[in-house]
Structure 1
Amino acid sequence: MNRTPTHKPRPMVDLLVSVILPSLILMKLSGEDALGVSGGLVAALAFPLGWGLFELVKYRKFNFIALLGLVSVLMTGSIGLFELDNQWLAIKEAAVPAIIGIAVLVSTFTPYPLIRALLFNSSVMDTEIIKQKLEENNSTEMFEKKLMNATYFIAGSFAFSATMNYVLAKWIVTSPSGTEAFNEELGQMTLYSYPMIAIPSMIMMMAIFYYLWRSISKATGLKLEDLMLKK
């Protein structure tokens, strides 16, 4: 029987394929003496699109955020190739993280809250022993409140990302879509978005994760290292 390969995070590869290479193509190879405006845009978008599809197919695991990423790439391509008003780029850039943040909040009213998939899940933590200790210490209700706080924090981090994405797109991408200047500005926006948005958002997520770990540790009496899933 074929086993699905285990996904191992490769942040440097993700950064290279999804940010650096597309940005360089847009800024350096979109001229008529190279790939041209449309060719440069298609080549640049092919990297994150191809990488995202490769990850989804290889690991055979539905990922809501990864799917939104793919949709985002396709929408960016459509705006450039069909020469739509560039204001749609700013709206699209803000819409993706906004949708994720709203989904995180709305999911708390369903049997499958996204907070558990993002942070409190059995692939990272020993959730069975945590639940057992929570019940023994009569701390389940208190922990659920902490989990809800973490949900609000995560939604807030996506609200920050949506706002910054919109501001950055409006600030940098001012040329009409379908032009070489538009591609160059799109490449600049992609590069700037990493230090200005991605890294701060990553720090926020790490802080929220640490908050959740501390909350679990206090509620269960377990040390942080004991909360991790033993492999």
Structure 2
Amino acid sequence: MSDQAVADNLPPASTAERILDAAEDLFAERGYSATSLGDVADRVGIRSPSLYNHFRNKEALYRAVMARLVTDFSGPIAELRAGPITHERVLEWLETIVRQHHANPNLARLLQHAALSGGPGTSDLIEQLFRPMFDSSRSFEDEPGPVLGDAALQPWAVMAFNNLVMSYITMAPMYRDLLGQDPFSECAMEQQLKLVKTLLQAVFEYRGHHLLS
């Protein structure tokens, strides 16, 4: 069955879901402060007072958008941490994350706006999405010991790779002409994935040599 046929057979989205979809896009485009409930209502095609039947105010709507994104994007790290931490599984997790950000660039864009101008619940979002990756109590089962041979570097490694993945989403459109292709095409994504994996493999190799030195 084609993707269009599958879409045609899905039940219509509820009003609340359509509000969340529109709000997510707008918050990603403009940030929290620059988005009004009237903007969201206009995009959904309903009157502003109707929004209050589903979300009591803009903050509640923003938090609901963030909660939905956290649910979608926190699954892969939870799955990784549920089993043995090996080089192969970390590479698989990284590929999943890269593909997930390409499929939905809104999280990276929302985080960029939040980093620059704030927004309610940002600290909660950071705790839920990134705190698990900062945990240095788990080590690789196929090569015991801290990442990079120094547990204190793990947060910096996490930030570096998160920046590499998410800054591509927010900045790559500026380089569209230089790339000579759509930065969100399958081909471009494969190139980004190849780079990220190459860098992570280099970290693994450095770590191995460091432990032997």
Q: Which has the higher contact order (CA 8 A, sep 6+)?
A: 1
The TM-score bracket by the shorter chain reads 0.3 to 0.5
Q: TM-score, normalised by structure 1?
A: 0.34
Q: TM-score, normalised by structure 2?
A: 0.36
